[in-house]
Amino acid sequence: MRLSLQTDYSLRTLIYLAHSGKRAKIDEIARFYNISTAHVAKVVHQLGRLGFIRSIRGVGGGVEMGRKPADISVGEVIRAVEGNVHLLECVGTEDVCIIERFCKLKGVFREAERIQNEYLDSVTIEDILPTRKQVRTIELKSLDG
C-alpha cells in the first residue's frame, strides 16, 4: 500500500495537534513541517469533516483535536482519508477478473490486508507522538536555517 500525500499530511497534522495539546493555526503547522499552507488547509478541512479535529473561527481561532489522540487509530485515519486501500481491485470487488473463481492470490492479499489493518488499528495517534525533546530539536534546527 502506498499512501497519498493527503494521508501523510493528515497524520502529520494530527501528530502536531496532539503533541502540542492546544489550538494551532494552519500556517503554524505548515511552517513546522515546511509544507504548503494550502495543503494543510485542505487536510484540516477534511479532518474536520471526519470529526478528527475541530475548527474554531474568529480571534484566537484555529484548529484543535476533536477526539483524544488515544481514541484515534492510524488505521482509522488512513481508511477515512484514502477510502479504498485494497492491494488489488479484486480484493474488494467481485467479478473483476476472469480467473477469480480459482485464484488463490486474492486470498493472499485479503489476508495481508487483514494483518496490516489489524496492526494499523492497534496503533493510536498517542502512540506515535514525539517527545518534547525531539520536537525542540526540530524547532532549534529550523531557527538555525
| Of 100, 46, 106, 54, the residue nearest 77 (C-alpha) | 46
For the chain, what is the domain count? 1
Q: What CATH number has the domain bearing residue 127?
A: 1.10.10.10
Q: Considering the entire predicted model, what is its pTM?
A: 0.87
- The pLDDT tens digits for 59-69 are 889 999 999 99
Q: What is the pLDDT of residue 141?
A: 64
3 φ/ψ sector (left φ>0, alpha ψ -120 to 50, else beta): beta
Could you list the residue range(s) of the whole structural domain that residue 77 is in? 5-144
